[in-house]
Chains A and B, each alone.
Chain A
């Protein structure tokens, strides 16, 4: 009896119950912060074209201008054979997802450095930054699709059910972009070299992907290597399904999906590993 009385206050004082720190799963954290992701995405979009005369037209202009330049150079001078498809729409249909990719990566790699003010002042899971940076670029993509629709009417391209393949293709691309953004944004925090590498990287990457030329130009023996780049399968897939009504190359698409998911997992893991030191590094 005496022992009980003695022990009780000690044990209750030293072993006070604390809410257990539960293992949080990536998707659950994301779901809990979905409104924040949405708010930050909206801020990105709203802020981007404010105080510019052309405003949101800039989002349309970039892929269009590129298409026009490449139409002149590749189609008229280099005389690249694109089969039955007129070169402008041939290039534009791939240029759209590519612009999304390149824009997402360059915005994404800067997302942590650019939000240092928030990172050092307020806590919430940092993955909301890369995610909303990439999401913010989907608006540009959606606007571009409207131009694509006009071009398709003009060039009398018939849509088939095959074009629904665009949805899984873009999901694969989104995963790949997220994975890349997780890696680039966190590395950029430690080594600002990333910032200078980005324009070069996207430029080289563009020529390494089937945007301004058809995939048929790639020699057979290099094709396996060439298709390790997920963007190759995705861009070729978009072109085939939307313009030609054909199925994408499933085998290569499988590789693209696998590579993308691997990047996403590794990128996220690396991001979370570095996350505790973000505020100290900036």
Chain B
């Protein structure tokens, strides 16, 4: 049985550029000739969600994910098409919606709960559970304005996680709190799934998507690019991320007639210093071998390698034209990129290779390769996995020259 059916949904926004802002504008008659621009945030989107299924929605920023969520939760309404849902729907679009800073945690639980659609009785019966989940027993009668942002977010998520809907819609709120709390949230989501709730999940975090969702909808520019199992869709998403990470060339750019367009295809990439798979430990060197095939003789083509985060941000970029003029290339061949050390925070990254002409203005016809790179903690300290903030993992030490004691443990006790 279907829990949600999205039937050919389109959503149009009207961007009024010249809305009269003041009397001077009005006097010039701008009220009458207001310029309007239509913008289709979603175009003809259709998918179904079966009861008990966990569906992920992924896509770049601006692909239409948030609009889709707002339509599903009835905050906005589709311009065309329709959305039908079966059963009580609850949305976790923002944690702590409606919190009043002057009110205590206790009062805000009741307020937030009823905003999310729980009855007062229901909240009262789950109250202790919520407080324990948020780990705020001691501060529950403190006004939330005195909470740290982490406490605030924890309380918000704790309430939301205890709403008991038939359909739950979640938007990236899992990225709050420390690692332990995030794990608890993921566990809670898993519980909801196992109790055959329908879950819709929007995220940039691909590993969560893969672990939680059985099916994934990939949105691109407001259209459904593909619907498929999580692994396939995530792979397609990563590929399109790679394609977007450098500006692509407009196909009708002057001087790039088909006959003049040459190409440098990067057929393959391999890790030289790790023969098994694309896995290395934080701090290891990275030796990358690219196999290319050039279409005719290319004058000093540029080759670039990007290391991307999961959300598409570039962590590092290596260009063969950075220090020297690259050599001319023709036919098939190999080139190696030697990176001394990759001190990345453990996680998954994307390695993308691209090529362009010598000025960097014409990107050679695709053929770029992208590979997923898994970074593990260093072998000698596998436990150093508590902090996953940032992308760099640099060797460092803390010293306390003013303290007389010699070991940090003792200092920790006295501080």
User: Which residues of A lie under 8 Å from residue B77 when comparing CB positions?
Assistant: 276
Tell me whether A39 and B103 are in contact (CB under 8 A): no
The answer, yes or no, to whether B237 is at the interface (CB within 8 Å) is: no
The answer, yes or no, to whether B243 is at the interface (CB within 8 Å) is: no
Task: Give residues 62-107 of B contacting A (CB, 8 Å).
Answer: 70, 73-77, 84, 86, 91, 93-94, 97-98, 100, 102-103, 107
The minimal Cβ–Cβ distance linking B86 to chain A, given in whole angstroms, is: 6
Would A117 and B98 be within 8 Å (CB), given that A18-B86, A276-B77 are in contact?
Answer: yes
Closest to B98 in A: A118
Tell me whether A276 and B76 are in contact (CB under 8 A): yes
A35–B103 Cα distance when bound, in Å, is 18
Tell me whether B76 and A279 are in contact (CB under 8 A): yes
Would A18 and B103 be within 8 Å (CB), given that A43-B111, A120-B75, A276-B76 are in contact?
Answer: no
User: Which residues of B lie under 8 Å from residue A42 when comparing CB positions?
Assistant: 107, 111
The minimal Cβ–Cβ distance linking A156 to chain B, given in whole angstroms, is: 42
Task: Give residues 90-130 of B contacting A (CB, 8 Å).
Answer: 91, 93-94, 97-98, 100, 102-103, 107, 110-111, 114-117, 119-120
Would A123 and B120 be within 8 Å (CB), given that A39-B110, A279-B75 are in contact?
Answer: no
Tell me whether B13 and A118 are in contact (CB under 8 A): no
Within the complex, which residue of B94, B100, B116, B119 is in contact with A43, where a contact is CB–CB below 8 Å?
B100
User: Which residues of A lie under 8 Å from residue B111 when comparing CB positions?
Assistant: 39-40, 42-43
The answer, yes or no, to whether A151 is at the interface (CB within 8 Å) is: no
User: Which residues of A lie under 8 Å from residue B84 when comparing CB positions?
Assistant: 18
Would A122 and B115 be within 8 Å (CB), given that A46-B102, A50-B102 are in contact?
Answer: yes
Closest to B108 in A: A43
A46–B108 Cα distance when bound, in Å, is 11
Tell me whether A35 and B107 are in contact (CB under 8 A): no
The answer, yes or no, to whether B1 is at the interface (CB within 8 Å) is: yes
The minimal Cβ–Cβ distance linking B394 to chain A, given in whole angstroms, is: 38
Would A122 and B75 be within 8 Å (CB), given that A36-B115, A46-B100, A46-B102 are in contact?
Answer: yes
A121–B92 Cα distance when bound, in Å, is 9
Tell me whether A36 and B114 are in contact (CB under 8 A): yes
Tell me whether B100 and A123 are in contact (CB under 8 A): no
The answer, yes or no, to whether A11 is at the interface (CB within 8 Å) is: no
A35–B116 Cα distance when bound, in Å, is 11
User: Which residues of B lie under 8 Å from residue A47 when comparing CB positions?
Assistant: 100, 102-103
Tell me whether B76 and A280 are in contact (CB under 8 A): yes
The answer, yes or no, to whether B187 is at the interface (CB within 8 Å) is: no
A276–B79 Cα distance when bound, in Å, is 11
Tell me whether A123 and B75 are in contact (CB under 8 A): yes
Would A35 and B75 be within 8 Å (CB), given that A117-B97, A280-B13 are in contact?
Answer: no
A74–B185 Cα distance when bound, in Å, is 65
User: Which residues of B lie under 8 Å from residue A16 when comparing CB positions?
Assistant: 1-2, 5
The answer, yes or no, to whether A216 is at the interface (CB within 8 Å) is: no
Main SS of the interface on chain B?
A: loop
Tell me whether A46 and B103 are in contact (CB under 8 A): yes
Closest to A280 in B: B76
The minimal Cβ–Cβ distance linking A56 to chain B, given in whole angstroms, is: 14
User: Which residues of A lie under 8 Å from residue B74 when comparing CB positions?
Assistant: 123
A115–B103 Cα distance when bound, in Å, is 16
The minimal Cβ–Cβ distance linking A273 to chain B, given in whole angstroms, is: 13
Closest to A46 in B: B103
The answer, yes or no, to whether A219 is at the interface (CB within 8 Å) is: no
A114–B93 Cα distance when bound, in Å, is 19
Would A35 and B98 be within 8 Å (CB), given that A46-B103, A123-B75 are in contact?
Answer: no
User: Which residues of B lie under 8 Å from residue A50 when comparing CB positions?
Assistant: 102
Tell me whether B86 and A19 are in contact (CB under 8 A): yes
User: Which residues of B lie under 8 Å from residue A122 when comparing CB positions?
Assistant: 73, 75, 91, 93-94, 97-98, 115-116
A120–B74 Cα distance when bound, in Å, is 10
- B-contact bits for A118-153, CB 8 A (1 contact / 0 none): 111111100000000000000000000000000000
Which one of A35, A120, A279 has the highest number of Cβ atoms from chain B below 10 Å of its Cβ?
A35
Closest to B86 in A: A19
Tell me whether A121 and B114 are in contact (CB under 8 A): no
Task: Give residues 103-125 of A contacting B (CB, 8 Å).
Answer: 115, 117-124
The answer, yes or no, to whether A203 is at the interface (CB within 8 Å) is: no
Task: Give residues 64-100 of A contacting B (CB, 8 Å).
Answer: none
- A-contact bits for B376-415, CB 8 A (1 contact / 0 none): 0000000000000000000000000000000000000000
The answer, yes or no, to whether A8 is at the interface (CB within 8 Å) is: no
User: Which residues of B lie under 8 Å from residue A19 when comparing CB positions?
Assistant: 86
Within the complex, which residue of A35, A43, A46, A115 is in contact with B120, where a contact is CB–CB below 8 Å?
A35
Task: Give residues 1-37 of B contacting A (CB, 8 Å).
Answer: 1-2, 5, 13
A94–B100 Cα distance when bound, in Å, is 33
A257–B86 Cα distance when bound, in Å, is 42
User: Which residues of A lie under 8 Å from residue B116 when comparing CB positions?
Assistant: 122
The answer, yes or no, to whether A51 is at the interface (CB within 8 Å) is: yes
User: Which residues of B lie under 8 Å from residue A18 when comparing CB positions?
Assistant: 5, 84, 86
The minimal Cβ–Cβ distance linking A82 to chain B, given in whole angstroms, is: 42
Tell me whether B100 and A118 are in contact (CB under 8 A): no
User: Which residues of A lie under 8 Å from residue B76 when comparing CB positions?
Assistant: 276, 279-280
A36–B70 Cα distance when bound, in Å, is 21
A35–B114 Cα distance when bound, in Å, is 7
Tell me whether A121 and B97 are in contact (CB under 8 A): yes
Tell me whether B103 and A43 are in contact (CB under 8 A): yes
Tell me whether A121 and B94 are in contact (CB under 8 A): yes
Within the complex, which residue of A39, A43, A123 is in contact with B73, where a contact is CB–CB below 8 Å?
A123
The minimal Cβ–Cβ distance linking B134 to chain A, given in whole angstroms, is: 19
User: Which residues of B lie under 8 Å from residue A276 when comparing CB positions?
Assistant: 76-77
The minimal Cβ–Cβ distance linking B30 to chain A, given in whole angstroms, is: 15
User: Which residues of A lie under 8 Å from residue B100 when comparing CB positions?
Assistant: 43, 46-47
Tell me whether B97 and A118 are in contact (CB under 8 A): yes
In the A-B complex, list the 10 residue pairs whose CB atoms are closest, starting with the nearest.
A50-B102, A39-B114, A123-B74, A121-B94, A276-B77, A279-B75, A36-B114, A18-B84, A121-B93, A121-B97
Can you sample 15 A-B contacts with CB below 8 Å? A39-B114, A39-B115, A39-B120, A40-B115, A42-B107, A46-B100, A46-B103, A46-B107, A115-B98, A120-B70, A121-B75, A121-B97, A122-B91, A122-B115, A123-B74
18 additional contacts (CB under 8 A) given A118-B98, A121-B94, A280-B76? A18-B5, A19-B86, A36-B114, A39-B110, A40-B98, A40-B111, A43-B111, A47-B102, A47-B103, A51-B102, A117-B98, A121-B97, A122-B73, A122-B93, A122-B98, A124-B117, A276-B76, A279-B75
